[in-house]
Amino acid sequence: MKAVIFDLDGVITDTAEYHFQAWDSLAAALGIPFDREFNEQLKGISRTESLDKILARGEADAHTAEDKLELAARKNMEYQRLISALTPADVLPGIHALLMELRDARIGIALASASKNAAFILDRLELTHYFDSVVDVTAIRHGKPDPEIFLTGAVNLGVQPAGCIGIEDAQAGIQAIKSAGMFAVGVGTPSQMQGADIVVATTAELSLRMLEEHFFRG
Protein backbone atom coordinates (compact mmCIF):
# COMPACT_ATOMS: atom_id res chain seq x y z
CA MET A 1 0.00 0.00 0.00
CA LYS A 2 1.86 3.04 -1.33
CA ALA A 3 -0.73 5.79 -1.63
CA VAL A 4 -4.23 6.90 -0.79
CA ILE A 5 -6.06 9.04 -3.36
CA PHE A 6 -8.98 10.99 -1.94
CA ASP A 7 -12.09 12.41 -3.47
CA LEU A 8 -12.95 15.76 -1.83
CA ASP A 9 -16.67 16.58 -1.84
CA GLY A 10 -18.43 14.20 0.53
CA VAL A 11 -15.23 12.47 1.67
CA ILE A 12 -12.98 15.14 3.19
CA THR A 13 -15.76 17.61 3.93
CA ASP A 14 -19.51 17.67 3.47
CA THR A 15 -19.54 19.96 0.45
CA ALA A 16 -21.61 17.34 -1.42
CA GLU A 17 -24.48 18.81 0.62
CA TYR A 18 -23.66 22.33 -0.62
CA HIS A 19 -23.55 21.14 -4.25
CA PHE A 20 -26.99 19.64 -3.63
CA GLN A 21 -28.35 22.87 -2.13
CA ALA A 22 -26.95 25.03 -4.94
CA TRP A 23 -28.39 22.77 -7.68
CA ASP A 24 -31.66 22.50 -5.78
CA SER A 25 -32.19 26.26 -5.78
CA LEU A 26 -31.26 26.55 -9.46
CA ALA A 27 -33.64 23.71 -10.41
CA ALA A 28 -36.42 25.31 -8.34
CA ALA A 29 -35.90 28.64 -10.13
CA LEU A 30 -36.19 26.82 -13.46
CA GLY A 31 -39.23 24.80 -12.37
CA ILE A 32 -37.38 21.50 -12.83
CA PRO A 33 -38.03 18.64 -10.34
CA PHE A 34 -35.02 17.85 -8.17
CA ASP A 35 -34.47 15.54 -5.20
CA ARG A 36 -31.75 13.73 -3.28
CA GLU A 37 -32.19 10.48 -5.16
CA PHE A 38 -31.59 12.19 -8.53
CA ASN A 39 -28.74 14.17 -6.96
CA GLU A 40 -26.83 10.89 -6.41
CA GLN A 41 -26.26 10.78 -10.20
CA LEU A 42 -24.57 14.19 -10.08
CA LYS A 43 -21.95 13.24 -7.48
CA GLY A 44 -18.46 13.13 -8.97
CA ILE A 45 -19.69 14.58 -12.27
CA SER A 46 -18.48 17.95 -13.63
CA ARG A 47 -20.50 21.15 -13.31
CA THR A 48 -21.47 21.22 -17.01
CA GLU A 49 -22.43 17.53 -17.13
CA SER A 50 -24.51 17.99 -13.97
CA LEU A 51 -26.31 20.95 -15.54
CA ASP A 52 -27.05 18.95 -18.69
CA LYS A 53 -28.55 16.13 -16.61
CA ILE A 54 -30.75 18.59 -14.72
CA LEU A 55 -31.88 20.41 -17.87
CA ALA A 56 -32.69 17.06 -19.50
CA ARG A 57 -35.44 16.66 -16.88
CA GLY A 58 -37.02 19.92 -18.10
CA GLU A 59 -37.05 21.32 -21.60
CA ALA A 60 -33.36 21.00 -22.43
CA ASP A 61 -33.73 22.30 -25.98
CA ALA A 62 -34.95 25.60 -24.61
CA HIS A 63 -31.42 26.50 -23.49
CA THR A 64 -28.70 27.89 -25.71
CA ALA A 65 -25.00 27.31 -25.02
CA GLU A 66 -24.86 30.87 -23.70
CA ASP A 67 -27.81 30.23 -21.34
CA LYS A 68 -26.05 27.16 -20.03
CA LEU A 69 -22.87 29.06 -19.26
CA GLU A 70 -24.92 31.60 -17.35
CA LEU A 71 -26.81 28.89 -15.43
CA ALA A 72 -23.60 27.06 -14.51
CA ALA A 73 -22.09 30.34 -13.33
CA ARG A 74 -25.20 31.07 -11.28
CA LYS A 75 -24.99 27.67 -9.57
CA ASN A 76 -21.30 28.18 -8.90
CA MET A 77 -21.89 31.61 -7.35
CA GLU A 78 -24.38 30.14 -4.92
CA TYR A 79 -22.00 27.22 -4.22
CA GLN A 80 -19.09 29.61 -3.60
CA ARG A 81 -21.25 31.62 -1.23
CA LEU A 82 -21.87 28.41 0.77
CA ILE A 83 -18.23 27.25 0.84
CA SER A 84 -16.85 30.68 1.74
CA ALA A 85 -17.75 29.98 5.37
CA LEU A 86 -15.84 26.65 5.58
CA THR A 87 -13.35 26.33 8.43
CA PRO A 88 -11.06 23.51 9.65
CA ALA A 89 -13.98 22.43 11.89
CA ASP A 90 -15.76 21.28 8.71
CA VAL A 91 -13.29 18.45 8.03
CA LEU A 92 -15.29 15.22 8.33
CA PRO A 93 -14.65 12.93 11.34
CA GLY A 94 -11.57 10.70 11.11
CA ILE A 95 -10.05 12.46 8.08
CA HIS A 96 -7.56 14.63 9.90
CA ALA A 97 -6.28 11.70 11.96
CA LEU A 98 -6.01 9.54 8.83
CA LEU A 99 -4.03 12.20 6.95
CA MET A 100 -1.60 12.45 9.87
CA GLU A 101 -1.20 8.66 10.05
CA LEU A 102 -0.56 8.43 6.31
CA ARG A 103 1.99 11.23 6.40
CA ASP A 104 3.80 9.67 9.36
CA ALA A 105 3.86 6.29 7.58
CA ARG A 106 5.19 8.01 4.41
CA ILE A 107 2.27 6.82 2.34
CA GLY A 108 1.55 9.12 -0.61
CA ILE A 109 -1.50 11.36 -0.43
CA ALA A 110 -3.27 12.76 -3.49
CA LEU A 111 -6.53 14.52 -4.27
CA ALA A 112 -8.63 13.44 -7.26
CA SER A 113 -11.55 15.85 -7.26
CA ALA A 114 -13.71 16.86 -10.23
CA SER A 115 -14.21 20.28 -8.62
CA LYS A 116 -12.61 23.47 -9.88
CA ASN A 117 -13.12 24.76 -6.33
CA ALA A 118 -10.98 22.00 -4.80
CA ALA A 119 -7.82 24.03 -4.10
CA PHE A 120 -9.88 26.78 -2.45
CA ILE A 121 -11.68 24.26 -0.23
CA LEU A 122 -8.45 22.52 0.85
CA ASP A 123 -7.07 25.93 1.81
CA ARG A 124 -10.19 26.84 3.82
CA LEU A 125 -9.89 23.50 5.65
CA GLU A 126 -6.13 24.11 6.17
CA LEU A 127 -5.32 20.68 4.70
CA THR A 128 -3.32 21.67 1.60
CA HIS A 129 0.04 20.83 3.21
CA TYR A 130 -0.89 17.13 3.60
CA PHE A 131 -1.26 16.56 -0.13
CA ASP A 132 1.71 15.43 -2.22
CA SER A 133 -0.43 15.95 -5.33
CA VAL A 134 -3.67 17.75 -6.11
CA VAL A 135 -4.65 16.61 -9.59
CA ASP A 136 -5.42 19.59 -11.83
CA VAL A 137 -8.92 18.78 -13.07
CA THR A 138 -8.64 21.32 -15.91
CA ALA A 139 -5.89 19.11 -17.40
CA ILE A 140 -8.04 15.95 -17.27
CA ARG A 141 -9.76 15.02 -20.53
CA HIS A 142 -12.20 12.40 -19.26
CA GLY A 143 -14.10 12.86 -16.02
CA LYS A 144 -15.25 10.12 -13.61
CA PRO A 145 -16.26 7.29 -14.20
CA ASP A 146 -13.20 7.33 -16.49
CA PRO A 147 -10.09 6.33 -14.48
CA GLU A 148 -7.94 9.20 -15.84
CA ILE A 149 -8.06 11.42 -12.74
CA PHE A 150 -7.05 8.58 -10.37
CA LEU A 151 -4.36 7.29 -12.74
CA THR A 152 -2.96 10.83 -12.98
CA GLY A 153 -2.81 10.97 -9.19
CA ALA A 154 -0.80 7.73 -9.14
CA VAL A 155 1.57 9.01 -11.83
CA ASN A 156 2.07 12.27 -9.91
CA LEU A 157 2.98 10.27 -6.81
CA GLY A 158 5.22 7.89 -8.78
CA VAL A 159 3.33 4.75 -7.66
CA GLN A 160 1.63 1.86 -9.45
CA PRO A 161 -2.19 1.79 -9.44
CA ALA A 162 -2.19 -1.61 -7.71
CA GLY A 163 -0.55 0.02 -4.71
CA CYS A 164 -3.23 2.69 -4.39
CA ILE A 165 -6.41 3.00 -2.40
CA GLY A 166 -9.07 5.40 -3.68
CA ILE A 167 -11.75 6.80 -1.36
CA GLU A 168 -15.03 8.02 -2.85
CA ASP A 169 -18.65 8.85 -2.02
CA ALA A 170 -19.92 8.73 -5.62
CA GLN A 171 -20.89 5.78 -7.79
CA ALA A 172 -19.01 7.38 -10.72
CA GLY A 173 -15.96 7.68 -8.48
CA ILE A 174 -16.01 4.02 -7.41
CA GLN A 175 -16.19 3.02 -11.08
CA ALA A 176 -13.22 5.30 -11.82
CA ILE A 177 -11.14 3.78 -9.01
CA LYS A 178 -11.92 0.20 -10.08
CA SER A 179 -11.22 0.97 -13.75
CA ALA A 180 -7.87 2.39 -12.62
CA GLY A 181 -7.04 -0.99 -11.04
CA MET A 182 -7.04 0.40 -7.49
CA PHE A 183 -8.62 -0.70 -4.21
CA ALA A 184 -11.91 1.18 -3.75
CA VAL A 185 -13.27 2.41 -0.44
CA GLY A 186 -16.83 3.74 -0.60
CA VAL A 187 -18.32 6.15 1.92
CA GLY A 188 -22.09 5.73 2.00
CA THR A 189 -24.55 2.87 1.71
CA PRO A 190 -23.68 -0.39 -0.12
CA SER A 191 -26.43 0.29 -2.69
CA GLN A 192 -24.86 3.68 -3.55
CA MET A 193 -21.33 2.24 -3.60
CA GLN A 194 -21.68 -0.74 -5.92
CA GLY A 195 -18.36 -2.29 -6.91
CA ALA A 196 -16.46 -0.89 -3.92
CA ASP A 197 -14.05 -3.29 -2.21
CA ILE A 198 -15.24 -2.04 1.17
CA VAL A 199 -17.95 0.39 2.23
CA VAL A 200 -18.01 2.49 5.40
CA ALA A 201 -21.09 4.33 6.60
CA THR A 202 -19.06 7.34 7.71
CA THR A 203 -15.48 8.60 7.48
CA ALA A 204 -15.17 8.12 11.25
CA GLU A 205 -14.56 4.42 10.49
CA LEU A 206 -11.43 5.16 8.42
CA SER A 207 -7.94 4.68 9.85
CA LEU A 208 -4.57 3.55 8.51
CA ARG A 209 -4.94 0.25 10.36
CA MET A 210 -8.36 -0.58 8.95
CA LEU A 211 -7.28 0.40 5.43
CA GLU A 212 -4.21 -1.84 5.69
CA GLU A 213 -6.22 -4.75 7.07
CA HIS A 214 -8.70 -4.66 4.18
CA PHE A 215 -6.10 -3.83 1.50
CA PHE A 216 -3.86 -6.78 2.37
CA ARG A 217 -6.84 -9.12 2.74
CA GLY A 218 -7.64 -8.10 -0.86
DSSP string spanning 150-181?
Answer: HHHHHHHHT--GGGEEEEESSHHHHHHHHHTT
Residues with catalytic function: 7, 9
Strands of the chain, DSSP E: 3-6, 108-111, 133-134, 164-168, 183-187, 198-200
x-or-dash string of contact with Mg ion, 5-44, rule CB under 5 A = --x-xx----------------------------------
**CB atoms closer than 10 angstroms to residue 29:** 10
One residue of 57, 81, 116, 142 binding ligand BG6 per CB under 6 A: 116
Which of 87-95, 107-115, 156-164, 185-193 is the region at the interface with ligand BG6 (rule: CB under 6 A)? 107-115
x-or-dash string of contact with Mg ion, 150-189, rule CB under 5 A = -------------------xx-------------------
Distance in Å, CB of 23 to ligand BG6, minimum: 8
Long-range CB contacts (within 8 A, 24+) of 150-156: 150/5, 150/112, 150/176, 150/177, 150/180, 150/182, 151/180, 152/112, 153/3, 153/5, 153/110, 153/111, 153/112, 154/3, 154/5, 154/110, 154/180, 154/182, 156/110, 156/132
By CB under 6 A, the count of residues binding ligand BG6 is: 18
Q: Which is nearer to ligand BG6, 85 or 217 (CB)?
A: 85
Q: Which is nearer to ligand BG6, 1 or 179 (CB)?
A: 179
Q: Which is nearer to ligand BG6, 16 or 154 (CB)?
A: 16
Q: Which of residues 60-99 bind Mg ion (CB under 5 A)?
A: none
State how far the Cα of 38 lies from the Cα of 75, in Å rounded to an integer.
17
* Pick from 13, 3, 4: nearest CA to 115: 13
117 binds, among Mg ion, ligand BG6, none (CB under 5 to 8 A by kind): ligand BG6
x-or-dash string of contact with ligand BG6, 33-72, rule CB under 6 A = ---------xxxxxx--x----------------------
For residue 136, give Cα distances in angstroms to 75, 112, 218.
21, 8, 30
Which residues contact Mg ion (rule: CB under 5 A)? 7, 9-10, 169-170
Which residues contact ligand BG6 (rule: CB under 6 A)? 8-9, 16, 19, 42-47, 50, 76, 113-117, 170
